[in-house]
Structure 1
Amino acid sequence: MYQEERMEAILRHLKQHQRMSIQEMCRQFNISRDTARRDTVRLAEQGMVVRTHGGVMLSAVKETLKGYGERLERASTEKRDIAVEAASRIKQDETIMLDASTTVQFTAEQITTFPLTVITNSVENAERLPYQMETDIYLLGGRLHPEHRFLYGPGTLEKLGGYYADRAFIGVIGVCEDGFYYAHEEDAAVKQKMADRAGKVYVLADHTKFYKKHFYRGMELAEADAVITDILPPPEMQKVLQEHGVELITAGQR
């Protein structure tokens, strides 16, 4: 197989699996490690991949974040499975924080544990939480992002600094070896503050979020206690999460 053919095959693999190791290239194409490295160097020089420790991943091209309503429809089955798992972690009389992501919104809809105190910067969460006498909802003030329906800014962060929660549930755009990625720096700051003010931090991320970078890198991996997902990520990512003390929870598998 010529180098150009291998490069095309590597890119096809990456589009499906997000990442490919040197070892996998050697095995799949029956080539030496030196040949595999030369292929990765050439792909990287063309801007098509990013070289990582032991392999490659697709280049981090910033994609346009879809509108809130459209994101609710995308991968909704996976998001709801994760939401059911997340909601099952909530105990009576707890205080929880919910950020402004679509998977966390699904979590809000799945909550059946009461009494409960909920702190959120999401207008959607505040509207969709089950309204019961035993639920106290604190909607954080601040500046409203009109499209994605979250509140942010200095006032939001200051208010959060006065609260403490038993658990925080936080969505992400991407989970990579160097941390969690978000579309908006302002929203990332709120998520960071929630993580700082919670006893246990759950990051909710379906399988499409692994090895996916976006505009802003926020929380470090070690700042999460657990990642709840629908399908286990590749072994390399499992190892990275384990090394940072992050529990990996697969929805529906107990």
Structure 2
Amino acid sequence: MNEPERWKKIVEILNKRQFATVKDLTEILDSSPATVRRDIAKLHETGRVRKVFGGIALAGGAAPEHTPAKPFEANRLIHIDKKEAIAAEAEKLCQDGDSIIVLGGTSCFLFARRLAGRGIKICTNSMPLAACLFEQSACHLTVVGGELHREPGILYSPDTPAPGFYASRLFIGAQGINGSGLLESHPGVVRAVNALQEQADEVVVLADSSKFAIKARHISLPLSRISTLITDAGITDEDADMLRGAGIDVVIAPTPAPDE
């Protein structure tokens, strides 16, 4: 496949998927990582695509019916101010001595990192969070076993039993949210959520307002399982009413102004 053919194929892929990693393109194009990176750099210069954390995205264009999940690293700096504000509100729900489960995702990562110096027991399936807490805290940490799924950064294997860890609250993010519940593209994430939500009394969702515009294929949790959802002021009245109609306590995290 020559360069023009690869470029055409890359744009076709992004029209369908909106985001792709170098590994994705290497496999699809049957090209070396070096060749793919050169193609990405040249396409970026033309303005047809843009380089983002973890891969490449289409410059503009309509979103596909289902949006693929971005890797953990690609999400770390997206809507960071809103996620930090949501994490601060979530911290208020925790008291020293609590036992909580914190699942994968960047909002949950930012939240749990705030608990590093507190006397709280944390169970997680997030490899980035486990590594962070190992390095930066002395909290009681339980890590769920299983294979590492690198893009979402979680540990999960279907034959690994759930840990003997029971929590007052499970904190969870979501790729998308609609009237059916929390949405995810990665089936491993869905199965991991289903297993661990059985270990907690309440479920608290940490989700910035952009999540309500994202579609994904799988329902990880129905709205009926959620007690509280913490988001930002960008949530629409329609989405807030949908959540409250399902019996969910909606908490709006104040986001600091840029000059504050």
TM-score, normalised to structure 1, is: 0.70
Structure 1, unmatched stretches of 5+, are 1-57
TM-superposed deviation, 1:112: 5.5
2:230 is aligned with 1:215 = no
1:166 match? 168
TM-superposed deviation, 1:59: 8.2
2:127 is aligned with 1:127 = no
Distance between the aligned counterparts of 1:232 and 1:248, measured in 2?
13
Match of 2:99 among 91, 95, 99: 95
2:66 is aligned with 1:62 = yes
Distance between the aligned counterparts of 2:79 and 2:112, measured in 1?
17
Distance between the aligned counterparts of 2:152 and 2:237, measured in 1?
33
1:109 match? 113
TM-superposed deviation, 1:167: 1.1
TM-superposed deviation, 1:147: 2.8
Q: Which 4+ runs in 1 deviate beyond 6 A?
A: none
Distance between the aligned counterparts of 2:76 and 2:153, measured in 1?
13
Match of 1:240 among 231, 239, 242: 242
Distance between the aligned counterparts of 1:69 and 1:148, measured in 2?
9
Give 1:209's aligned amino acid. K
Say if 1:179 and 1:60 are closer, same or farther in 2 by CA, change over 3 A. farther
Distance between the aligned counterparts of 1:241 and 1:147, measured in 2?
29
Query: Per-residue CA shift, 1:63-113, capped at 9, x if unaligned?
Result: 232222121011111111111111221111111101011110111211256
Q: Is the Cα contact below 8 Å between 2:68 and 2:216 reproduced in 1?
A: no
Query: Per-residue CA shift, 1:126-145, capped at 9, x if unaligned?
Result: 12227444x11011111111
2:214 is aligned with 1:224 = no
Distance between the aligned counterparts of 1:60 and 1:191, measured in 2?
25
Q: How does 1:1-254 map to 2 (within 5 A)?
A: 61-111=65-115, 114-129=118-133, 131-133=136-138, 135-156=139-160, 158-160=161-163, 162-231=164-233, 233-252=235-254
Distance between the aligned counterparts of 2:63 and 2:223, measured in 1?
21
Structure 2, unmatched stretches of 5+, are 1-61, 256-260
SS state of the match for residue 100, structure 2? strand
Q: What's the C-alpha RMSD, in Å, of the aligned pairs?
A: 2.1
Distance between the aligned counterparts of 1:212 and 1:171, measured in 2?
13
Identity within the alignment, %: 26
Q: Is the Cα contact below 8 Å between 1:82 and 1:228 reproduced in 2?
A: yes
Q: Is the Cα contact below 8 Å between 2:184 and 2:220 reproduced in 1?
A: yes
Larger displacement relative to structure 2 (136-145 or 63-72)? 63-72
TM-superposed deviation, 1:155: 3.8
Aligned length: 193
SS state of the match for residue 210, structure 1? helix
Say if 1:60 and 1:204 are closer, same or farther in 2 by CA, change over 3 A. farther
Give 2:185's aligned amino acid. A
Q: Is the Cα contact below 8 Å between 1:177 and 1:211 reproduced in 2?
A: no
TM-superposed deviation, 1:193: 2.7
Give 2:236's aligned amino acid. P
Q: Is the Cα contact below 8 Å between 1:91 and 1:113 reproduced in 2?
A: no
TM-score, normalised to structure 2, is: 0.68
Q: Is the Cα contact below 8 Å between 1:109 and 1:128 reproduced in 2?
A: yes
Q: Is the Cα contact below 8 Å between 1:97 and 1:168 reproduced in 2?
A: yes
Larger displacement relative to structure 2 (184-193 or 166-175)? 184-193
